[in-house]
Structure 1
Amino acid sequence: MAALFGARVRRLRMAAGLTQAELGDKVHVVSTRITQIERASGAKPTRELARALDVALGADDLLVELWPYVYREAFPDWSRKFMEHSERAVVIRQYAAHVVPGLLQTEDYARAVLALDAMLDSEEQLEERVAARMGRQERLSSPDRPELLVILDEAVLRRPIGGNGVMRQQLVRLLDVAAERHITVQVLPFDQGGHEAMGGSLTILTLPDGSEVAYTEGSDYGQLIEEPANVSRYKVIYDRLRAAALPPLMSFDMIRSTMEGNYRGANLPSRTERRRLAQEQLQQSGGGRLRGGGRRIPGGRRPRP
């Protein structure tokens, strides 16, 4: 698929009468990057670069539509169908036992997580996976964005993946998204003890036709569950986790306290700056806040970061 993508770019470039250097200037990359794409060598193009090439070459979205298939090669078979469902889901409910879910990861955190894969073949494959993960996050700001409900085990907050600096910025990111109208973040504290999903992560997807699928994942495996009776059992597990988790406002405070207590440093935004950002996000999302079960309170005020 990467070779097909490159061949299409070359054909369109030549039809437009452009050299590789001229096309590189139009999309703000060096000419050798265009050479790599056309020869299917080096890192695969990011979604942003595919879109820029599409516009520069007048491809009428051909390259953008081909881009996801280029990246399928970068992921194991058992995760691809789940990612396809995720791209269409209208509601995503996730429980994360060990790491922040991919949709909410910063780029540095994502790179640190993906680099831990024992089956990773090369630095090039790592960068492909990072670019693909960052590309999937674009849907959270699109008009058809899904409702996202995330439960984080307390261990997710306290394990400094990538080092304290990377972890601090990741927690800042969680505080930022907690103010978004379509995103709910809750924390499941250690003192809740054991539960049925301790083995790994759990995701429930609601698709446009109302059907639902569940997905469980460990460090090197994944299982997609489509049988309605089995999906219902996982929905019950998720509902129990959500009931045991802290309400959104208390979760916000716990994330903030963990960040300030464990990952304090010079790169941490000031309290005034965080308060200003939170107020701006509230104004953009309608000025509401969330109560314990995820219900929004009109006119409410976010806790002070």
Structure 2
Amino acid sequence: MNPDSSPQAAFGARLRKSRQAHNWKQDDLSALMGFSSGHISAVETGRKMPTLRFSRSADAAFKTAGTVDTFERAWRELRLGTMLEGFPEYLGLEAHAVEIRLFEIGIIPGLLQTPAYARALAEGDVRRGTITPEQAAERVSVLADRQATLVRARPPTMLVVMDESCIRRPVGGAEVMKEQLQRLMEFTALPNTMLQIAPYNIGERRSFNLPINLLTLPDRSMVAYAESQVQGHLDREPTFVLSALSAYHQLQAESLSQTASVDMIHQV
């Protein structure tokens, strides 16, 4: 197996190399890790994706936990490998942000998606052949982890503006959309949130033509993340970030109030 053929192949090749360096058979490693020798063989040959538990067990067996080059780190890089450039770094910042501002076009923002809605989007990508079923499942799992980081003792303030297309575009069928729109209304009832719809009729006054995320970090610094269909970009440069923040404020002023936005969601 060529370790350069994919991140999954590289992980398997490293596992085998580490095992052979200790003169262990797969049965020996199996006893140390608590996984069957067949499972270890499948990971080594790239036939099975490693999991977080598997990676941590490998670190315990090879005594690499706490080092700079752990199997867990390799697993996380493998897990995020299908994501756009800049997005893995953005996720690390998002998990610690004290304020999150989102603007989205066409689909409900990921942090507000229900599992069924997220799966429908991922399955659409599978049908188009852009990702594998395994990558689709991983994408939904990553989203669930992102949402879980927001459920903490002091959750971040979340300000969300969605283009009207987000709630008008049907995804996954009527029942999935009904559940998703109900989730949006539950979101508006939280004490740390605000949701606004940017209606179609604001026309050219809509200040963004692409989705954008703005994070305020604990030290009050800000970062912006924007992406196209094929590329993501994380920006810390103050001039750009402050310009984006100003445009976001203008967008909020043009958008419906939260009360009017909830009324529109009810109508849909």
TM-score by length of 2: 0.73
Which segments of 5 or more consecutive residues in structure 1 lack a partner in the other structure? Answer: 22-30, 259-305
Mapped partners of 1:217, 1:239: distance in 2: 20
User: Which residue of the partner structure matches residue 147 of structure 1?
Assistant: 157
Q: Alignment partner for residue 172 of structure 1, among 146, 170, 182?
A: 182
| Structure 1 residue 247, shift from structure 2 partner | 1.8
User: Which residue of the partner structure matches residue 261 of structure 2?
Assistant: 251
Moved over 6 A (4+): 10-13, 51-55, 57-66
Q: Alignment partner for residue 231 of structure 1, among 233, 241, 254?
A: 241
CA displacement, residues 248-304 of structure 1 (integer Å, 9 cap, x when unaligned):
22222221221xxxxxxxxxxxxxxxxxxxxxxxxxxxxxxxxxxxxxxxxxxxxxx
**Residue 72 (str. 1) matches residue 89 (str. 2):** no
Q: Alignment partner for residue 194 of structure 2, among 146, 169, 184?
A: 184
Letter in 2 for 1:176: E
Alignment of 1:49-128 (within 5 A): 50=52, 68-117=76-125, 120-128=130-138
Q: Alignment partner for residue 171 of structure 2, among 161, 178, 184?
A: 161
Letter in 1 for 2:77: Y
Q: Is residue 156–residue 192 contact of structure 2 (8 Å, CA) maintained in 1?
A: yes
Q: Equivalent residue of 2:205, what SS? A: coil
Q: Equivalent residue of 2:233, what SS? A: strand
Letter in 2 for 1:93: R
- Decide whether aligned partners of structure 1 residues 52 and 108 sit closer, same or farther in structure 2, where only a CA change above 3 A counts: farther
| Structure 1 residue 54, shift from structure 2 partner | 6.7
Mapped partners of 2:188, 2:215: distance in 1: 20
Q: Equivalent residue of 2:117, what SS? A: helix
Mapped partners of 2:84, 2:143: distance in 1: 14
| Structure 1 residue 40, shift from structure 2 partner | 5.3
| Structure 1 residue 119, shift from structure 2 partner | 7.1
| Structure 1 residue 150, shift from structure 2 partner | 0.6
Q: Is residue 97–residue 198 contact of structure 1 (8 Å, CA) maintained in 2?
A: no
Mapped partners of 1:44, 1:185: distance in 2: 38
- Decide whether aligned partners of structure 1 residues 20 and 220 sit closer, same or farther in structure 2, where only a CA change above 3 A counts: same
| Structure 1 residue 44, shift from structure 2 partner | 5.4
Cα RMSD, aligned residues only: 3.5
Matched residue count = 241
Letter in 2 for 1:73: G
User: Which residue of the partner structure matches residue 22 of structure 2?
Assistant: none
TM-score by length of 1: 0.65
User: Which residue of the partner structure matches residue 201 of structure 1?
Assistant: 211
- Decide whether aligned partners of structure 1 residues 131 and 193 sit closer, same or farther in structure 2, where only a CA change above 3 A counts: same
Q: Is residue 160–residue 196 contact of structure 2 (8 Å, CA) maintained in 1?
A: yes
Mapped partners of 2:217, 2:85: distance in 1: 21
User: Which residue of the partner structure matches residue 14 of structure 1?
Assistant: 31
User: Which residue of the partner structure matches residue 242 of structure 1?
Assistant: 252
